Amino acid sequence: MPIQPTYPGVYVEEIKSGVRTITGVSTSITAFIGRALRGPIDEPITINSYGDFERIFGGLWLNSTLGYALRDFYLNGGSQAIIVRLTHSKLKQAEGQTPGETEPTAKKAQLNVNGLNLEAANEGSWGNALKVRIEYVDTNVRRDANEQKLFNITVLDQNTSQLEVFRNVSVLPNHPRRVDKVLLNESYFVRFRDESLPTDRPAAHAQSAPDKRLWDDNNDTNTKAEPNSGADGDDLDVNDFTGTNKEANKQGLYALNKADLFNMLCIPPYKNDGNIDYDSLVDSAAKFCQTRRAFFIIDPPSTWTDKDKAKAGIQNDLGEPTSYAGVFFPRIKQPNPLRENQIEEFVPCGAIAGVFARTDVQRGVWKAPAGTEATLTGVPQLSVPLTDPDNGELNPLGINCLRTLPAYGRVIWGSRTRNGDDRLTDEWKYIPVRRFALFLEESLYRGTQWVVFEPNDEPLWAQIRLNLGAFMHTLFLQGAFQGRKPEDAYFVKCDKETTIQNDINLGIVNIIVGFAPLKPAEFVILKIQQIAGQIAV
């Protein structure tokens, strides 16, 4: 800090260097949206392992493909995911309702625990398996237990055999262990249902008979959830993702606006025929990804059962071409552990996202996530075997093929965006170029927030050139750009030519960043020539 001299002597002052390090953002946080067995609804929940998904959202479920896609994501190298659980809502039919008003079809299980009204923490039939016991605090341990109205609550989830125990809770409104607050902040299973607390603590449950285990039914010794009070709801439709007021309320697809950052989006099938609403949802999801600087991985429709149907479908089935999405064909075949490991078809989006994440870590986001290194772990078969000529017909249309190669197994053998059709001649035809540009945009956006409200003149411009140039040079040294020299690979321009006086008057500083992207070598051509015998002179 500047020093105000007050006495004769030597003063030490530290001068700022002006360097503000720009940190590259993550490139492989993947958002998954769909149905789950349990868990919060319309809330983006960050998880770091498949174990987190099992604990919070209940793991694999026959009524949803989301769990299978997430399993493939972690099998193939994924690290961090964001889960948004959705449930179906239907239009209200009662008279006097606001037009377009909906009500959820999923319900929370209800429990009346000796006068204490509880409900499952979130919607779903999983709550029907809850049991609760009330026990009084031993007065030999807490002699004020009766005055404090203390009791213990034990909750059992019979499906997972998990227990939650909350000791020394009370119904007194000013007690530090007030029961409704304790359950809200500490329980994964139950919540307090009433708006007001009961005036007295609930009655304690009877002890089980000597020949019965504690959690056996035992003549209603324990309180069970009301029969069928919890419901999973109906199958999703497109309105559950992008319906009326979804964006304004940050629900459905737009619940991801509550998340700070995500880089890839997967929407596993939610319809009974194994598809999504390709004609309406794909365009909305791709547009949303463009807004959030993310990339949408599109699964092939179940009707793409051969090469010819894929060629015909790419023109009509997947919405408008965009560089913010890519489609991968065919689907994958895997054993289903919920059906005695019978082989079934699954969508590849989770496995693809996992390979993207693995490649980003091993090689960088500028490396195409395809080739012999892009092997699909846990994928024994593909639904449609493709040959080189088949691949040659699909690749120019922007369809990324999954192939089976001898020795390598199942691999990704294409890296084009939806704008990868050769007839479009688009500069964003390759996935690594688009994803690397998104990485640069997000990193520089976050790394230049300090510029706002700084004096708009040459000292600021010099700092901008220094900081952005240092970041770009670091990427150059990592091999992220074309060119042997920095001036061939990138530039950062911010001076009186980019920011004229009128811009300064308007409070604008213009920064131009250019880079020479690496593009994948799709076609390797070996030219073999036989050397003719030399004629002796």
Domain boundaries, the chain: 30-88+237-433, 110-224, 455-537
Residue 281 half-sphere exposure, CB side, CA atoms within 13 Å?
A: 29
Contact 442, 261 (CB under 8 A): yes
Token pair belonging to 420: 């990868």
What single DSSP character describes residue 246?
Answer: T
pLDDT of residue 407: 93
Contact 155, 163 (CB under 8 A): yes
The torsion angles phi and psi of 402, rounded to 5 degrees, stand at -105, 130
Q: Which helix (H) or strand (E) holds 433?
A: helix 431-447
Helical H segments across 243-306, by residue range: 281-291
Contact 32, 81 (CB under 8 A): yes
The torsion angles phi and psi of 398, rounded to 5 degrees, stand at 85, 20
Residue-wise pLDDT tens digits, 102-155: 788 999 999 998 888 999 999 999 999 999 999 988 777 777 878 888 999 999
Token pair belonging to 106: 């999923």
Q: Do domains 30-88+237-433 and 110-224 have the same CATH topology?
A: no
CATH number of 30-88+237-433: 3.40.50.11780
Third-level CATH fold of 110-224: Immunoglobulin-like (2.60.40)
Residue 518 half-sphere exposure, CB side, CA atoms within 13 Å?
A: 19
For 110-159, strand residue ranges (E) read 110-113, 116-120, 130-136, 150-157
Q: Which helix (H) or strand (E) holds 515?
A: strand 512-515
- pTM of the predicted model, to two decimals? 0.92
Low-confidence ranges of the chain (pLDDT < 70): 1, 92-100, 210-212, 217-221, 533-537
pLDDT of residue 75: 97
Residue-wise pLDDT tens digits, 425-449: 999 999 999 999 999 999 999 999 9
Q: What 3-state DSSP class applies to 6? A: coil
Residue-wise pLDDT tens digits, 514-536: 999 999 988 888 888 888 766 66
> End-to-end CA distance of the chain, in Å?
84
One-letter amino acid for residue 151 of the chain: F
Task: Give the distance, in angstroms, between the CA of residue 65 and the centroid of all CA atoms in the same chain.
Answer: 15
Neighbour tally for 66: CB within 10 Å? 28
pLDDT of residue 221: 64
Distance CA 410, CA 416 (A): 18
Burial 450-466 (b: 16+ CB within 10 A, else e): ebeeeebeeebbebbbe
